[in-house]
Amino acid sequence: MASAVMGTYDRFDIAFERGEGAWLYATDGRRFLDFGGGVAVTALGHCHPHLVEALTRQAHRLWHCSNLYRIPDQERLAERLAGLSFADAAFFCNSGAEAIECGLKLARKYQQVVAGARERFRVITFAGAFHGRTLATIAAGGSEKYLEGFAPAMEGFDHLPFGDLEAVRAAIGPATAGILVEPVQGEGGIRVATAEFLHGLRKLADAHGLVLFFDEVQCGIGRTGRLFAYEWAGVVPDVMAVAKGLGGGFPLGACLATSRISAAFAPGSHGSTFGGNPLATAVGNAVLDVVADDAFLAHVRTTGAILHDGLCAVAARYPGVIAEVRGTGLMLGLRCVIPNRALVAALIEGGLLSVPAGENVVRLLPPLIIGAAEVDDALRIIEQACTDLAAKAA
């Protein structure tokens, strides 16, 4: 696969030329059920008519406009995200990492300018976290494999075990500015934070004047069956990053915050050339039209529960292949006994796309629009892959 593209990805040798709903069609004629969703990006599947309509209508009017001027769709999307969440204000960008960068800058600025605590810059993060691939976000994530060769790592992050409140209490010091956590770790292996852990973080943040920052880049926008994953625990952050599903396949990210924190940003504090441009925010608004609906979210919860039950049944029949089913809503993981990549490869053979994750997990992140037929198809393919792999292992 020689190519002029830099070799940063370990790619499967498949190219897709068309997508429709939960299905992808490859250039070699094969058809795949897409339970990877571009890693939780295509929340409404491929070429959803409402998104195609919003994108093409906007494409005929105005693609880009600088943030030197007002952008009505951006203002509308910010108002809607605020109305649907704890937040009062949004900053728009083009990716998850940028949304995290914005939140990290905001946390520092809030502490150093609004709260008058100039010594506060450190942020507590957790093992297994993934926050992006910029220099700041690889330092935040703390994963050796992403930091390797990029020394020196940006200063200011304290990495603690996920779920360990005692460690957080002990690590908070005079330089601590905030706590950054994924309510459901995606890349780390579909690890769901307990409500007790998130409540404990909220209490510690309040007691010490820290910014509580949730990374919902993967678990937000309906993925868990609530619009935002933090709703499950009833724990409200001060700052939250979203991206992936927000644009349904169009690059769009946002950093949301309460007005107390966002007051730290003034004209000139932060910026982005492309962030929240007319095309991106037209699509973002169209995504919300569909996802921010009680019946739609109830459908995600129901479908997720059926898929979860089906996966548990398969796992019980193949204990030599699948050790555990994890996750919530349509953010599910299969912790494998065999190497996870072997299961991903076997599923591709059967026509199902999935995504490997940490802790030897295979992630299933199907479009939120799937129904009973797609769940049945997926379970059948997973069962067959398990049969084949169990026979090989024997």
Ligand X SMILES: *Cc1c(COP(=O)(O)O)cnc(C)c1O
Binding site for ligand X (CB under 6 A): 95-97, 100, 130-132, 182, 186-187, 215, 217-218, 243-244
| Continuous segment of H or E residues that includes residue 279 | helix 278-291
Q: CB 117 → ligand X: shortest distance, Å?
A: 26
Is the Cβ of residue 137 or residue 262 nearer to ligand X in the bound state?
137
Instruction: Quote the strand ranges of the chain, DSSP E.
Output: 16-20, 23-26, 31-34, 89-93, 122-126, 157-160, 176-181, 184-185, 191-192, 211-215, 239-242, 253-257, 322-328, 331-336, 352-353, 355-357, 361-364
CA dist 208 and 95 (Å) reads 30
- Number of other residues whose CB lies within 10 A of the CB of residue 203: 14
Is the Cβ of residue 141 or residue 278 nearer to ligand X in the bound state?
141
- Number of other residues whose CB lies within 10 A of the CB of residue 394: 6
3 state DSSP class of 285:
helix
> What string of DSSP letters covers 84-138?
TSS-SEEEEESSHHHHHHHHHHHHHHIIIIIS--TT--EEEEETT----SSHHHH
Is the Cβ of residue 21 or residue 251 nearer to ligand X in the bound state?
251
Is the Cβ of residue 314 or residue 365 nearer to ligand X in the bound state?
365
Is the Cβ of residue 50 or residue 133 nearer to ligand X in the bound state?
133
CA dist 205 and 211 (Å) reads 6
Is the Cβ of residue 130 or residue 230 nearer to ligand X in the bound state?
130
Q: CB 266 → ligand X: shortest distance, Å?
A: 26
Q: CB 281 → ligand X: shortest distance, Å?
A: 17
Q: CB 389 → ligand X: shortest distance, Å?
A: 27
Nearest residue to ligand X by CB is 96
Q: CB 224 → ligand X: shortest distance, Å?
A: 13
Q: CB 272 → ligand X: shortest distance, Å?
A: 13
